[in-house]
Amino acid sequence: MKPKNIFLIRHGQSEGNVNAEFYNQKPDYTLQLTELGHQQAKEAGKSLLEKVGKDNQIMFYISPFWRTRQTFEGILKSFNPTLITWREDPRIREQEWGHLRTIQECQRVEKEREEFGSFYYRIPDGESCADVYDRASDFFNTLHRDFEKVLFPENCAIVTHGTAIRCILMRWFHWTVEEFEATANPKNCEIFHLELQDDNKYKLLTPLREKENHNIYKFKWASPSFFSLNL
């Protein structure tokens, strides 16, 4: 059964969010929440419980990175553990940023990425957003199989990362690359709510913000009906 509600939640503030030097000291997956991040996770749990209802079941899918695990732990403080099911899935992990990098290297990559276009730019020894999109697409196979289960809960939450949320929404709602480029990353512990409509499709009730001064080249193309195909 398709869930009535799907929630996408970005992790709380992490060490890397406040000091980029951590990316040169620790592998990305080991970065942990700050004190503020832990508080954000608890507040997100309270907010999510209000949307779900204290007597209703919910299924969680979690990125295995430590900051998303800690966010999940903070969210759970608001829930009855008997109404929770959960599963880790590496396909919804953060975009790979390669090996340990200095803050100067991170700044150089970010500058190149914005100039080139973040969707196609592949980080050295890492991934492009297009790679994350492919992972999200494969993750959908698991979601759809789970949704077919008779006893699947009416509520589902995905605790993940900013880029992953944007790629999941891009895949779900068939955004163009230009539409993806125009969206800003979610804030820490921001919750995005997808609600099932009468037509059996989901509506995004909390859209992403637009990116300020995004400089991606706006390519306008003709409708396919204008093209003549010689096969």
Q: Is the dihedral of CA 49, 54, 56, 60 positive or negative?
A: positive
> Catalytic annotation on 94?
yes
How far is Cα 161 from Cα 184, in angstroms, rounded to an integer?
13
Choose, from 11, 15, 161, 181, the residue flagged as catalytic: 11
> Catalytic annotation on 50?
no
How far is Cα 105 from Cα 142, in angstroms, rounded to an integer?
36
Establish how many alpha carbons lie within 13 A of residue 66's alpha carbon, considering only the half-sphere containing its beta carbon: 12
Q: Which residues pair with 129 in a beta bridge?
A: none
Choose, from 15, 94, 181, 190, the residue flagged as catalytic: 94
How far is Cα 153 from Cα 147, in angstroms, rounded to an integer?
9
Which residues are marked as active site?
11, 94
